[in-house]
Amino acid sequence: MSKKPYKLEARNLNAYYGGFHALKDINIAMEEKAVTAFIGPSGCGKSTFLRTLNRMNDYIDGFRVEGDILLDGRDIYNKDIRVDELRKEVGMVFQKPNPFPKTVFENVVYGLKIQGIKDKKVLAEAAESSLRKTALWEEVKDKMDKSALALSGGQQQRLCIARALAISPSVVLMDEPTSALDPISTAKIEELIYELKNDYTIVIVTHNMQQAGRVSDQTAFFYMGELVEYAKTKTMFTSPKHERTQNYITGRFG
Ligand SMILES: Nc1ncnc2c1ncn2[C@@H]1O[C@H](COP(=O)(O)OP(=O)(O)OP(=O)(O)O)[C@@H](O)[C@H]1O
C-alpha cells in the first residue's frame, strides 16, 4: 500500500512560555486523512503542541516558538501567512462544548457569515451538509431556530464539530473532545472521528488510552515536553519501544 502524504510536520520545534521550555525539539510528520493521537501525562505539552498547529498560542503573552511547522509543506509561522486563513484551513474543537448562545443554525453558519456569505440558500445547504457530517441533522433539523444551549452536551459537541467543518478545513484539531461527555456521546464522537478521517486530517489529544487505541492510526507519546515515541497506534500499544511509554500505557503513571 502506498504511504499517505504528510499533511503536517514539525521540525526542530521548541516552544516557550516566557522562560519555561514547554516543547523540546519536537520532530514529527502526520499523515493526511488519518487520525493522530497525542497522549501523555498531564502537563507534558500535548495541548501546547496541538495549539501551535493553528497558532492558537499566539494570544498568550510571552509564548514563542522556534523551528518550523509545515502545513502542506509551508511554514505556518512564516511572516506571509495570514492567521485567519490558516484557521480556516486548520479548525479546532475544544474540551468543553462551547456553542455560542445563539440558535443551532446560527452556530453552524457562524464562520460562513463572518466570511461574508449572506445567501440564505447557500447557508441553509451548508448547515444541513455540516450537520449531516456530524450525524446530528436528524436530531436537530426541527430545532434549527432553537437555542444551541438547549441541546445535550454530546449534541453540543457534535454541533461544535459541525461548526468547525462548515468552513471547509482540511485539518481538525481536537483537544480532549469527549472528556466532558457521557459514554454514549463519547462513542458517537469516536464513530464520527472514524468517519471524518475519510475527508479530513485529524489530530486529537486524549487522556483515554482506549480512545487513542480505538480512533487513531498513529500515536505520539509526550513526556515533560519531549516526544518520546511516535508510531502506528497498534505497534505502540502492543510493543512500545521505550520503557516510559510502556509504563504510561499500562497505567503505571500518569
Ligand atoms: N499559558 C501558559 N502559561 C505558562 N505556562 C503554561 C501555559 N499553558 C501551559 N503551560 C505549561 O506548559 C506545560 C505544558 O502544558 P500543556 O497544557 O500543553 O500540557 P498537557 O499535556 O496538554 O496537559 P493536560 O493533559 O493536563 O491538559 C505545563 O507545565 C503547563 O503548566
Angstrom distance (rounded) from CA 52 to CA 71: 12
Residue nearest to atom 7 of ligand 1 (CA): 17
Nearest protein CA to atom 16 of ligand 1, as residue: 45
Ligand 1 midpoint to CA 253 (Å): 18
Q: Which residues of the chain have pLDDT under 70?
A: 1-4, 253-254
Q: Is the beta carbon of 94 within 6 A of some atom in ligand 1?
A: no
Residue 22 beta carbon below 6 angstroms from any ligand 1 atom: yes
pLDDT at position 1 is: 53
Q: Which residue's entry shows cell 497522549?
A: 39
Question: What is the residue whose three cell numbers read 511572516?
Answer: 79
CB of residue 206 inside a 6 A radius of ligand 1: no
| Ligand 1 lined by 30 (C-beta under 6 Å) | no
Ligand 1 mean position to 48 CA, how many Å? 6
Spatial CB neighbours of 137, under 8 Å, sequence gap ≥ 6: 128, 131
* 249 CA from centroid of ligand 1 (Å): 21
254 Cα to the center of ligand 1, angstroms = 15
The set of cell numbers assigned to 33 is 486523512
- Say how far apart CA 176 and CA 122 lie, in whole Å: 32
CB atoms within 10 A of CB 112: 20
199-239 per-position pLDDT tens digit: 999 999 999 999 999 999 999 999 999 999 999 999 999 99
The CATH architecture assigned to 6-249 reads: 3-Layer(aba) Sandwich (3.40)
- Mapped onto helix, strand or coil, the DSSP state of residue 136 is coil
> What is the model's pLDDT at position 3?
64
- The span from the CA of 57 to the CA of 74, in Å, is 19
- The reported pLDDT for the residue numbered 141 is 97
Cβ of residue 45 lying under 6 Å from some atom of ligand 1: yes
| Sheet with strand 218-223: strands edge to edge | 90-93, 171-175, 201-205, 35-39, 218-223, 226-232
Structural domain spans, the chain: 6-249
Pocket lining: 78 vs ligand 1, CB cutoff 6 Å: no
Q: How far apart are CA 245 and CA 123, in angstroms?
A: 46
Instruction: Please report the pLDDT score of residue 254 as a whole number.
Output: 61
Question: Which pLDDT does position 251 carry in this prediction?
Answer: 84
pTM: 0.94
